[in-house]
A and B are shown apart, each in its own frame.
Chain A
Amino acid sequence: MSFHPKMAYDATFQKSARPLEDEGPAFVYTPANRARFDEIVRRYPPDRRRSAVLPALYLAQQQQGYITANAIRHVAGLVGITRAEVEDVVSFYTMFYTKPVGTFVLQVCRTLSCALNGAERVTEELSAKIGIPPGQTDPSGTFTLLEVECLGACDRAPVVMVNDAWHENVKPGDAARLVDDLRSRGEAALSGCHHVIEQKR
């Protein structure tokens, strides 16, 4: 409401035009994910419950493939923070998707070390090979190409993260082979030290 007689309010109110205008399908955790969430929350002291927002969002993304406004509402309610705070997190981290993505998400790091080592050229090559500009998913739904912030592998720049696996020291010339490999061998083509570490565990 407005206390000021001249201040028409509702008519001039501009809505924010970020993504998430589409609420998406109804979202609740599956019983299995809900149980998983409850287990995650128990790891945090009660006054730090809000810190569970990151794993909670990962769960939501695993379940639905991407994060919708309804998922944000659900997570905010469970974690006990506002929707603005959840979106704060979703929009900050590049690993949360607000649109459906392909089977393979190619994330090219564009932060300093990778950029100096030619990450931009890698993006161009990948883009040309798949036939989509960065930020989009190809019509078959196989590849999504994204430019993201630091992936934490600066010593092996440039780095491309495919789903959860790092591909390090990627030269522009490797781009086409990477795409072909993923097309022909699927998951088996994923490599990188991330997988090695996971296997050692």
Chain B
Amino acid sequence: MPTLTIDGRQIDSPDGSTVIQAAETLGIFIPRYCYHPGLSIAGNCRICLIEVEKNPKLQIACNTPVADGMVVHTSSVKADEGRRAVLEFLLANHPLDCPVCDQSGECDLQNFYMNFGLYDPRFREQKIKKKKAVAVGPHVMLDQERCILCSRCVRFTDEISKTGEFGIFNRGDRAEVGLYPGQQLDNPYSGNVVDICPVGALTDRDFRFKARVWYLSSAPTVCNGCAQGCNVDVHYVLDRPHLNDGARILRVKPRYNADVNQWWMCDEGRYGFGWIDKGRLTKVRRQGAGATWEQAVAGITEELTKVGERDPERGTCLRLGVIASPQLTNEELFLIREIFQRALGARVTASVPMPAGNSDNFLIRADKNPNTHGAALIGLTDATAPDAAAIVAETLEGQLDALWVFGYDLTKLVADEDLQRLSRSLRLFVFSGTNDNPTAGCSHWALPTAAYLEKEGTFVNAHGRVQRIGRAFPPLSDSREDWRVLLEIAGRLNLGFAWRSPEEIFQALARSVTPFAGLTYERIGLHGASLMTDASVAEVAVT
């Protein structure tokens, strides 16, 4: 392993690694445009110039392999002057339209110019005109003038999405990034080119002109779009309701996780956040009329206490069915198991029919629920448990007297008339969910609950990795977290649970469900933790 010295500090770096990587392990950041750890090395932007002793010319850090005894200076006068010259060239034909550019504030041209720029520019010539605001695909807008031709997007479509739409056409100062005539950038990962574009050449059509990036807050979480569980950062605004029609979330960006999604995420997850701000249930409703949480909890608990009692009229026991959801967190599913299955003896399931979605062998999985695996581990989808269709059938046959549906829309299973009939025949019909749907309209109690970004909890992805979803902001309007509602009901039922937070529920879960043993929120951290070995993953049947 070669030993080299970077800025006076020694480091052993593996054979074949490059100076930029070695510097990064020392915490020394070398500026870069074309270099991206997830892509092949192009070496064309030249901003990562470094001084290597005994070498007459400056070298590019991204493509200089480490060598034993190498002495590198990353921020010497000579290196900084080299970068200044590179920036002068890069900006020769750059339009400098930062005031109207979406990238402004997170633009590496701006950032590095602050460090190395020639503050008194010498360029007096005419700039080359190219095309601006070209919609290259459903999600991406291209501005050829802002482009510095780093070719990250070209390499992304070649190497990661493997669709090869982008190319660099023409030559010299007329060179431009573009698509082959008649083609469009319409692959399932197209949004990533916006993330990797170091300048404002590729911007997000969905986010375009909605907010300046410095107004955005960011919260780390996990995409709930499918069973892959890509790590993401959610960018949102709470204190500027005039932006984005008052919607809180403005965009979702992938967050690096070597074991799950690396630097990438799919477009479906990236642009599928609209439901969190639109079409939400905001008020507790009883038979369609407004009610309070106190009334709801009291009313529902009163009915629940009768579960298991003998109905004097019919001579049978009152029975409860619960359709939980693999959209819920482990903590909530655990509470559902403890309260409904164990304490009340209800028929509980978390297997809800969902048409298999599109999938590939990269990040997109056919199972569009984030926590199917978790529900299986907690025992709500195993072979002995009924599925949602069975529970609805039993309800329609009159075998169940009370039904609680978490989020699922029953009209996917039964006709509208049947849902009406079911609603009339049940003693108790609770719907709790984030968004309004026909099932909520037919239920006796419709409870607005928090979206996954509004609560703490954990999901288990398809590879058996437990990941925390952070709470980005409080629940919208009157909605409450499912775990809070469930704990309140457990309290009323005198079940003796001492837990007060998702973290405490998780501790109980870890004690009770073997694959979670030894895990804590702290150990899961920002990047998740593997539950168990691959062999034991195979044992758990995941639908």
Residues of A within 8 A of B (CB): 1-5, 7, 9, 12-18, 20-21, 69, 81-85, 87-88, 91-94, 149
Contact = CB atoms under 8 A, between A and B. Distances in A.
Interface string B119-158: 0000000000001001100110000000000000000001
18 contacts: A1-B138, A1-B186, A3-B271, A3-B272, A4-B206, A4-B271, A7-B138, A7-B205, A7-B206, A14-B134, A17-B131, A18-B169, A18-B181, A82-B158, A82-B180, A84-B180, A85-B167, A87-B181
Interface string B258-284: 000000000110011010000000000
A18 B164 contact: no
Given A9-B135, A87-B180, A92-B169, 20 more contacts: A2-B139, A3-B138, A3-B268, A3-B272, A13-B184, A14-B131, A14-B134, A14-B135, A15-B181, A15-B182, A16-B179, A17-B131, A82-B158, A82-B180, A83-B183, A84-B166, A85-B164, A88-B167, A91-B171, A93-B171
Nearest to B182: A15
B159 to A, nearest CB: 12
Contacts of B206: 4, 7
Contacts of A87: 167, 169, 180-181
Contacts of B171: 91-94, 149
Contact of B164 (A3, A7, A16, A81): A81
Nearest to B183: A84
A91 B170 contact: yes
Interface of B: 131, 134-135, 138-139, 158, 164-172, 175, 178-184, 186, 205-206, 267-268, 271-272, 274
Those 3 A-B pairs whose CB atoms lie nearest each other, nearest first: A82-B164, A84-B167, A84-B180
Contacts of B267: 3
Contacts of A13: 135, 184
Given A7-B205, A9-B135, A88-B167, A16 B172 contact: no
B271 A16 contact: no
Contacts of B178: 16, 18
A20 B181 contact: yes
Given A1-B186, A82-B164, A12 B135 contact: yes
A5 B273 CA distance: 12
A9 B186 CA distance: 11
Nearest to A94: B171
B77 to A, nearest CB: 29
A93 B178 CA distance: 17
Contacts of A7: 138, 205-206
Tell me which of A3, A4, A7 has the highest count of chain B C-beta atoms within 10 A of its own C-beta.
Answer: A3
A16 B168 CA distance: 13
B221 to A, nearest CB: 19
A149 B172 contact: yes
A81 B158 CA distance: 10
A17 B179 CA distance: 10
A85 B181 CA distance: 12
Contacts of B138: 1-3, 7, 9
Contacts of A94: 171
A14 B134 CA distance: 6
Nearest to A21: B181
A18 B139 CA distance: 22
A197 to B, nearest CB: 26
Contacts of A4: 205-206, 271, 274
B515 to A, nearest CB: 34
A30 B139 CA distance: 42
Contacts of A85: 158, 164, 167
